[in-house]
Structure 1
Amino acid sequence: MASPLRPVLSLLLGAAFILAGNGLQFTLLPLSGEAFYFSPSDLGLIGSAYYVGFVGGCLVAPYLVQRAGHIRAFAAMVATASATILGHILVVDPHMWMVLRMVTGFCLAGLYLIIESWLNDRATNENRGLIMSAYIVVNFAAITGGQMMVTLNPITSFRSFAIASVLSSLAVIPVALTRSAQPAPLAIVRFNPLPLYRAAPVGIIGVFMIGVANGAFWSLGPLFATGNGMSVDDAAIFMSLAVLAGALSQWPAGQVSDHFDRRKVLAVLLALGAAAGFALWKAPMHPTTLMVLGVVFGALTLPGYSLAAAHAYDKTPAGGYVQTATTVLLSNGVGSIFGPALASLLMGRLGPSSLFLFTAVVQLLLLAYIVLRIMVRHPTPKADKSAFDLPATAPVAGPIVPPEPPAGGSTGDGPRPAA
């Protein structure tokens, strides 16, 4: 019997290459920008620019796929993303880097949507869990591996940027040569947050605020590490450990939220995550201490998006899953635009450690809002909940668009929120 993964191996391999290249960039660019004497505010805006492009890509990419097809659109976006990586080392200017990161974010959004919609189309109710679990493993393994590649060469050398470009370029080969049939064009859905806000205010406000906090962490976390005496190698390990801890804690957090009010589970994680943030803000500048706290922070903070998105899906009526997925994805992306820019201003005034003061304050603000909502609205009955499933993408991406359940029933797959 053929393996259920065989028809999607080329897609998984392509995803591994593009995610490894993107993971390398997320650590390489802030560290190299710091070495080139970019200001904290410049580095924050560079981080925000990626999410500006990402939001734009989510809105425009479906039209490009409809025009050119999945494979051609994928090849064009990979080529563009690979070229922009080299542009960073050819033109060392913060304003140019902002433009390049915006282009990268646009391309990555399109690539995620293409890969995930294609995987979803190839999956059946019998093998969907296996395929998406394999995709999750590829996501976290590739991003972690990419982050660790920053240790191979000096951060300002051409080789570091060339490796990221080569990894991204390789992604097109298995996808271009696949014999797997292309899926139907991506659905075009308008961004309309008001209906979801009325149905699940904690869901949409939650993913937005979590985007503010986590977007700052992803963009500026390496600067916190080096600013507190860590080497470049230690900074890569710090980010990788936090990501892995967040990946491992997704499932238990989600399972607990299936049995209790998801808002309360999210509130507990926010409170503990804020405490970890305050500890990182005031912790002694010792690499081991900071890494341990980074693991705790990642484990408590990164699952938050999954829980907020799952709460939104709980309130989604049949036929509205694609609309909810779009709204959740874009709301998180918009929040991620603000996070790096605002946190960098604070870091410029109070130092690198204030990154986690920023994340803690954002988490406490969201915690206060959730407590208020718990007081005024009853929890979702357990019978009405969608079963929590692991996130389908890395925390820096967005949720896969879940398949619509058949009329009168559920797919059994549950929502597929991400980080």
Structure 2
Amino acid sequence: MFASLGSVLSLMLSTLLMMVGFGLQSYVLPVRSVAEHWSTLSISWFATGYTIGFTLSCFVTSRLISRVGHVRVFTALITLLSVAVLLCGLVVDWRAWIVFRFISGFAISGSYLVIESWLNERVTNDNRGMLFSLYLITTMVGTIGGQYLVPLGDPTNTSLFILCGIIFSLSLLPTALTASPLPAAPSKVRFNIVGLYRRSPAAVVCGFLAGALSGAWLNLGGVYTQKTGLSTAEGATLLAALLAGSSIAQIPIGRASDRMDRRIVMVGCGIFGVIACIAMVLVTGSEPSVRYVVAALVGAVIFPIYGLNVAHANDLAAPTDYVEVSSGMMITYGMGTISGPLMVAPAMDTFGPSALFMVLAVYFALYGGYAAWRISQRHAADGLVAKTDFQPSPMPQPGLDPAGTLQQAAGDADMVPDDTAPRPASP
């Protein structure tokens, strides 16, 4: 175990530092946006630029790695991350931020392709659970830690932007100086979303809705905290509470889906999400501690549901199709993240910040309702192979691979995964 950990220690340290920068960037930008009195719709436009860059990177980065290798691509992408966040501090204009955030989305999504394909080459069936659990903890701790750096500085000047650029640059050092063997370059990946939809409509449609849910929250959640009167420290705690709820709920949701038709669990998560979002609307303006608890309940379903979609898609696939299925699901999720902020922002401008959770409740209702309709259309036993085991995944966010699909996309598209350890959703 210790030998396996040592082989990825530098990779984990780079991931931790990158996620600290990611958490800081993800919170300081909406705080600065509110301080500049930009409309929520304007904020949604540069958020959408970010998610478009993230989705495009799914197609492009694996080809770059094939040409020049993991370390060189990772170095280039982290450099772009640093440049993009520094430019946001220097040029404070939401129109310019659309371009800067596009660059950030492309770079951080590609960085995770590098990290996760590298990590995937180091795991075996014996240490998979331990290493990916460590990976999950690393991403969550880094993100939360970065968010708590915002109250220590002044978002209205360049100090926090500079700090973020420094942290991103430091994340290069562990992997650049590692003595561990480098992973092999990936082969070309196939994408067939139409075929994926024909095989598993529930997985594709619900995957899109899961992307819309997470894209809306991750890009506008910080705006919600600022416009509802929370301090930066209280806002960071609310964001952390939602992530904590997500992490705690992943295993019970996954285990439940292993024991019954996953679509039934999707319906249950949709209903739970509607109730939690309505509760969040009702407690807006209440004591922060009450809002933390309700936010954790929203987090319990807003992120783990994507793992259900990927697991369900793989239940209906042959082992030789796992890579193609997972790659298609990643693109579907990315398309959803693009739409989420654009749909939510007008509602927030018209009805106030709590409208964020009103729209999220609608998305959850669509998610559960479509899964329920699909149950009436196809029997649960119509899959091609036996049900695969659900594995917990880190909280998905634009730029972070929500179900380990990027690491599969970086692998050989023709390889057949070990049947004893299928990869419907890696942690």
Structure 2 length-normalised TM: 0.94
Matched, 1:412 2:421: yes
Question: Structure 1 vs Structure 2: percent identity of aligned residues?
Answer: 33
Shift of 1:407: 6.0
* Contact map agreement 1:136 1:394 (CA 8 A) in 2: no
Q: Distance in 2 between matches of 1:258 and 1:47?
A: 35
Shift of 1:97: 0.6
Partner-residue secondary structure (3-state), 2:253? helix
List structure 1 runs of 4+ shifted beyond 3 angstroms: 380-383, 392-396, 401-409
* Contact map agreement 1:77 1:110 (CA 8 A) in 2: yes
* Contact map agreement 1:128 1:413 (CA 8 A) in 2: no
Q: Equivalent residues in 2 for 1:291-302 (5 A)?
A: 291-302=292-303
**Structure 2 vs 1, CA of residues 392 and 182 (structure 1 numbering), >3 Å: closer, same or farther?**
farther
* Structure 2 equivalent of residue 223 of structure 1: 223
Shift of 1:186: 2.4
* Contact map agreement 1:224 1:353 (CA 8 A) in 2: yes
* Structure 1 equivalent of residue 11 of structure 2: 11
Q: Distance in 2 between matches of 1:190 and 1:346?
A: 37
Cα shift readout 1:139-193 (whole Å, capped 9, x = no counterpart) = 1111111111111112222221112111111111011111122212123223321
Q: Distance in 1 between matches of 2:423 and 2:61?
A: 25
Shift of 1:345: 0.9
Shift of 1:111: 0.5
Q: Which amino acid aligns with 2:361?
A: A
| Alignment RMSD (CA, Å) | 1.9
* Contact map agreement 1:81 1:104 (CA 8 A) in 2: yes
Stretch moving more, 180-189 or 312-321: 180-189
* Structure 1 equivalent of residue 393 of structure 2: 391
Matched, 1:122 2:122: yes
**Structure 2 vs 1, CA of residues 284 and 92 (structure 1 numbering), >3 Å: closer, same or farther?**
closer
Q: Distance in 2 between matches of 1:42 and 1:408?
A: 44
Q: Distance in 2 between matches of 1:233 and 1:407?
A: 47
* Structure 2 equivalent of residue 332 of structure 1: 333
Q: Distance in 2 between matches of 1:364 and 1:95?
A: 33
* Contact map agreement 1:17 1:167 (CA 8 A) in 2: yes
Partner-residue secondary structure (3-state), 1:230? coil
* Contact map agreement 1:213 1:362 (CA 8 A) in 2: yes
Q: Equivalent residues in 2 for 1:242-257 (5 A)?
A: 242-257=242-257
Q: Distance in 2 between matches of 1:300 and 1:123?
A: 28
Q: Distance in 1 between matches of 2:89 and 2:284?
A: 34
* Structure 2 equivalent of residue 369 of structure 1: 370
Partner-residue secondary structure (3-state), 2:380? coil
Q: Distance in 1 between matches of 2:189 and 2:415?
A: 19
Cα shift readout 1:33-60 (whole Å, capped 9, x = no counterpart) = 1101211101111111111000111111
Stretch moving more, 18-27 or 98-107: 18-27
Q: Equivalent residues in 2 for 1:178-327 (5 A)?
A: 178-286=178-286, 287-327=288-328
Q: Which amino acid aligns with 1:388?
A: F
**Structure 2 vs 1, CA of residues 172 and 37 (structure 1 numbering), >3 Å: closer, same or farther?**
same
Q: Which amino acid aligns with 1:299?
A: A
Stretch moving more, 252-261 or 188-197: 188-197
* Contact map agreement 1:132 1:392 (CA 8 A) in 2: no
Shift of 1:71: 0.6
**Structure 2 vs 1, CA of residues 265 and 92 (structure 1 numbering), >3 Å: closer, same or farther?**
same
Unaligned runs of 5+ in 2: none
